[in-house]
Chain A
């Protein structure tokens, strides 16, 4: 009898396998970072690093939010509106009696609630996420505009300085989010996302609480997007009911660059974080190279198509006899 090969540490072995195939992405990210560092040597000062990570931070959060949805086999069109709503709620409540803490709680609660409600509709009524979030995006945008018809509100200066000042607080927070995400994916509910996204019927039969997995993931996704909005409000010092709009498509772009599959059940944390970093650096590099904004969009689109096509083509090429 042959003996089953048991890896000494199953968790690390599984992670290593799941992240194989990201080498190409690492290299591309590294290359862009090098170019960026040459163009902008200030990256290596505390201030420069802080600014850089502050630009990246909200994009990283919304990419994670979108990745959670895509792993579940859906896609969210409500990420941008949720960012806006987060910003608006922060700007409206932070001047209130409970101050910053109250604002933080209100934004988190709104994100979790909207996410969970969306997830509940998708999971229990079995509606496609793209339709539910499309409807949700109109509703959320409407609510944001009702709360704050034009940019304004109040964010305390010290709070803006803390998050978007000259210290790398945003980077530290990002590390915390990543640890949280890693822990979440090491729980049965977290790993259930992969099963529920890839083979929902099979997952149900295996005893995975598919509905609960979905509602939980959607709630977390809503939380991340709303917190990204809070950060954007701190960055700009005010609330803006439409500021989040570009984040919907950028979050999809970041997730796709990071190798998250549209059909669900495929994608990794490392990929997601690299994808959002790549997108962020790309935008910065093109800005420094003096690309006109329109050309930036074209280049961004081409790079995204390329990022999806290249692995596909290389695997086809490898498969040839």
Chain B
């Protein structure tokens, strides 16, 4: 079994924060020429394990082992020297620096103490070629879309010619096309003998790329085995100890009510000439490659960016909404994808975040009504199963729980239209499921849910209809009977002629 020697290992590592154990004796071994999947829900200890493997943190007990030798004082510098590169979820790029400078940062070739731009440009051009970055190398990274920045981040890791490459949810902001390039690249690196650790919440990717899996649950390894013969359901069972059939709740056919949104020739930002109708009780999906105008479409609907239309009917108003206040008044609520910056006030408590949109109506004698506020917070946390002290700052919560707070805060306003921008990005499976059930219950209550998602299976399993955007236009509207992953991805790539004129 273990003929090849692992390049990087963690042996019985323990790590806790403030007396709170996160890893309780975890083993993992990364072998050359193998793509190793690391699965686990948020809070299972994946990030901590990555930080140990890359030297950003030190284990309390146990060892990190490089080439069979335990390392005593591991640091990011030592990890780099040992050929370990990490592509983190949060980007490490500087917006003002060019693509080339960013890729070389920290390992810039120099001549006479100065940066050797000529050597840099040839070396960078080579890695850019590999990851399919065609933008000019002198372009500032700040001008790139999130997905392209992610590709720069990957190029940056490759630039250091790693022997071990750790990828933490590399595809969460990539389009299907970019994810495809990345998959090809990962296979190539694997064949070159690099040890890869791949973290993703997308099981189909894990299935397609990885040959070995380590599953973490509550800081303990629950499985460390080859992936062969394990299907999606099996993976989910390993992660949550529950059947996968439950991941997506069964699709429900809800009675369709009044038309809540009716648009002809609607334009906002990148979205152009969109004709779109949606009714109460529907879950309408919005798909497509990243950055094809989907987000601008939602923001335009919500009045957050200027929009125009030939004819428009949005929740009873007969023109595009002017601003967010008007949209809230009309019964629209928007949950942004970037919950850390746009959705939540991170240093504030869970309670005050939950109260923020409805602060105005819990008033007694012109002052805040603390008792009513407490009641509302208690009510919301119970409905959304947010556990623990509501006085904690939101930033102390895991990604999934943060998302729940970002969603829950709108419920007291009882919105009739919910605009959701990638609500499950970076969210663990358990919370994903809770969010799915929540969306279905909204639809059942007669709300209209518009779900923008980069996770295609999500659109397939939840939506009554899916609108696929391409180059700013609504390329295809798939009815329930035609929704499939193939159809959505095909339309996004412009493959389907059918409905392209819609």
CB distance A199 to B137 under 8 Å? no
Selected from A5, A186, A194, A204, the residue in CB contact (under 8 A) with B97 is: A194
Residue A302 lies at the interface, judged by CB distance under 8 Å to chain B: no
Is A14 on the interface with B (CB-CB < 8 A)?
yes
Indicate with 1 or 0, residue by residue over A263-284, a CB within 8 angstroms of chain B CB atoms.
Answer: 0011000000000000000000
CB of A107, distance to nearest CB on chain B (Å): 26
Complex contacts, A208 vs chain B, CB 8 Å: 105-106
Residues on B with beta carbons closer than 8 Å to the beta carbon of A201: 90, 92
Closest to B143 in A: A17
Report the Cα distance A150→B156, complex, angstroms. Answer: 57
Contacts of A183 in B (CB 8 A): 114
Q: Is A205 an interface residue (CB 8 A)?
A: yes
Q: In the complex, which residues 1-27 of chain A have their Cβ closer than 8 Å to any Cβ of chain B?
A: 1-7, 9-11, 13-14, 16-18
Residues in chain A within 8 A of chain B (CB atoms): 1-7, 9-11, 13-14, 16-18, 183, 186-188, 191-192, 194-195, 197-199, 201-208, 265-266, 320-321
Other A-B contacts than A205-B92, A321-B308, 11 sampled, CB-CB below 8 A, are A2-B132, A4-B128, A4-B137, A6-B137, A7-B138, A10-B118, A188-B115, A191-B115, A202-B94, A206-B105, A206-B106
Asked whether A199 lies within 8 Å of B136 as measured between CB atoms, the reply is: no
Q: Which residues of B contact A187 (CB under 8 A)?
A: 110, 113-115
- Tell me if B107 counts as interface (CB < 8 A to partner A): yes
A10 contact set on B, CB distance < 8 A: 98, 100, 117-118, 120-121, 137-138
Determine if B86 and A205 form an interchain contact, defined as CB atoms under 8 angstroms apart: yes
User: In the assembled complex, which residues on chain A have CB atoms less than 8 Å from the CB atom of B100?
Assistant: 10, 14
Interface residues of B in 87-131 (CB under 8 A from A): 88, 90-98, 100-102, 105-108, 110, 113-115, 117-118, 120-122, 125, 128-129
B86, B107, B117, B156: the one contacting A14 at CB < 8 Å is B117
- Bound together, the chains give a CA A187 to CA B137 distance in angstroms of 18
B108 touches A205 (CB 8 A): no
Cβ contacts A to B, 5 pairs, < 8 Å: A4-B137, A10-B121, A187-B110, A202-B90, A265-B96
Pair count A-B, CB < 8 A: 123
- Asked if residues B96 and A266 are in contact (CB atoms below 8 Å), the reply is yes
- Whether the Cβ atoms of B137 and A265 lie closer than 8 Å is no
CB <8 Å contact, A14 and B94: no
Set B86, B91, B94, B134: member contacting A2, Cβ < 8 A:
B134
**Chain B residues within 8 Å of A191, by CB:** 97, 101, 105, 108, 115
B94 with A194: CB separation less than 8 A? yes
Selected from A6, A194, A202, A203, the residue in CB contact (under 8 A) with B96 is: A194
When distances are taken between beta carbons in the complex, the residues of chain A under 8 Å from B128 are 4
Question: Roughly how many angstroms separate A93 CA and B81 CA in the complex, as a whole number?
Answer: 48
Q: Specify which of A3, A6, A16, A18 is in contact with B121 (CB 8 Å cutoff).
A: A6
Note all chain A residues with C-beta closer than 8 A to B90.
201-202
Q: Convert B37-63 into 0s and 1s, putting 1 for each residue whose CB lies closer than 8 angstroms to a CB of A.
A: 000000000000000000010000000
Which residue of B is nearest A186, CB measured? Answer: B114
- Structural contact, A202 and B92, CB atoms closer than 8 A: yes
Q: Which listed residue, A4, A11, A195, touches B94 by the CB 8 Å rule?
A: A195
Q: Which residue of the partner chain, among A7, A206, A321, contacts B267 with CB atoms under 8 Å?
A: A321
Give the chain A neighbours of B108 by CB distance below 8 A. Answer: 188, 191
Of the candidates A188, A198, A206, the one whose C-beta lies within 8 Å of that of B95 is A198
Question: Smallest distance from the beta carbon of B381 to chain A beta carbons, Å?
Answer: 31
A4 CA / B133 CA spacing, docked (Å): 7
The CA of A207 and the CA of B156, in the complex, are separated in Å by 12
Inter-chain contact B134/A5, CB cutoff 8 Å: yes
Tell me how far the C-beta of B180 lies from the nearest C-beta in chain A, rounded to whole angstroms: 14
Contact of B92 with A203 in the complex, beta carbons under 8 Å:
yes
Report the bound CA distance from A10 to B113 in whole Å: 17
User: Which residues 133-149 of B sit at the A interface, judged by CB distance below 8 A?
Assistant: 133-140
Residue of B113, B118, B121, B268 with most partner-chain A CB within 10 A: B121
**Interface contact B105-A17, CB-CB below 8 Å:** no
Report the separation of the CA atoms of residues A139 and B133 in the bound assembly, to the nearest whole angstrom. 51
Bound Cα distance A285, B362 (Å): 58
Residue interface mask B64-82, A partner, CB < 8 A = 1 = 0000000000001100100
* Given known contacts A17-B98, A321-B269, A207 and B138 CB-to-CB distance under 8 angstroms: no
What residues of chain A lie closer than 8 Å to B86, measured between beta carbons? Answer: 205
Judged by a CB distance under 8 angstroms, whether B306 is at the interface is: yes
